[in-house]
Amino acid sequence: MLDIVLQSIWLILPAYIANGSAVVFGGGTPIDFNKKWKGKEIFGRGKTWRGFTGGCLAGMAAGVIMNAFPYYGTMPLIVIFSLSCGALLGDLAESFLKRRVGIERGKMLPLLDQIDFVLGALIFTYVICIMVYGESNWFTEHVSMVHIACILIITPLIHLATNIMAYLLKLKDVPW
């Protein structure tokens, strides 16, 4: 069982790194350029180009480094890219949803706040792999339903712990 947990973390690690690094690199111009849609912010001022770009690059760098130490195997660059970018796209989608239902920036949406980025990473990577490689591809051969279930169970715990650390380090305004 421990091996499955470690494999699952290894598989999703570029997404974890991308999501956490976006906070570190954040600031600057908002992705939505402070525009509104139907009277509400599109994503909010906390989602910035610098955070998105820095997060993607950090996740990709982590994946490349992981490939140099392939304890649980290597990942094609397209997988590393799609996990990293998909994580931040998932976070953007969740921010868009929160703005639509009137949840302000920094306010918690339980569970979705903790798994939005892994859902985005997994879905985006699955779609990209099918587009690039066809039905039989790296994702379908390396990511099982057990891995996905494990990722969805452990991520809220890891996410909460890392957010509390970021809050204590004054990198985030709220501990979630």
User: Is the confidence at residue 136, as pLDDT, over 90?
Assistant: no
- The whole-number pLDDT of residue 116 equals 95
176 is a domain residue: no
Number of independent structural domains in the chain: 1
Please report the sign of the dihedral spanned by the C-alpha atoms of residue 163, residue 166, residue 171, residue 175.
positive
45 is a domain residue: yes
Alpha carbons 173 and 143: distance in angstroms, whole number? 34
The model's confidence at residue 14, banded by pLDDT at 50, 70 and 90, is very high
Kindly report, residue by residue over 142-176, the tens digit of the pLDDT: 999 999 999 999 999 998 898 889 889 988 787 87
109 is a domain residue: yes
Contact 4, 154 (CB under 8 A): no
Q: Which residue has the tokens 């996410």?
A: 159
61 is a domain residue: yes
Query: If you average pLDDT over every residue of the chain, what do you get?
Result: 93
User: Is the confidence at residue 124, as pLDDT, over 90?
Assistant: yes
Alpha carbons 109 and 71: distance in angstroms, whole number? 35
Q: What is the pTM of this model?
A: 0.91
175 is a domain residue: no
Alpha carbons 15 and 83: distance in angstroms, whole number? 5
Contact 90, 119 (CB under 8 A): yes
174 is a domain residue: no
The model's confidence at residue 50, banded by pLDDT at 50, 70 and 90, is very high
Alpha carbons 127 and 83: distance in angstroms, whole number? 11
User: Is the confidence at residue 76, as pLDDT, over 80?
Assistant: yes
Kindly report, residue by residue over 84-103, the tens digit of the pLDDT: 999 999 999 999 999 999 88
Greater model confidence, 9 or 171: 9
Cα angle 61-49-56, degrees, rounded to a multiple of 5: 20
Alpha carbons 92 and 106: distance in angstroms, whole number? 14
Domain extent at residue 93? 2-168
**What is the amino acid identity at position 95?**
S
- The whole-number pLDDT of residue 36 equals 93
The model's confidence at residue 109, banded by pLDDT at 50, 70 and 90, is confident
| E strands in 5-130 | 36-37, 40-41
The model's confidence at residue 106, banded by pLDDT at 50, 70 and 90, is confident
58 is a domain residue: yes
15 is a domain residue: yes
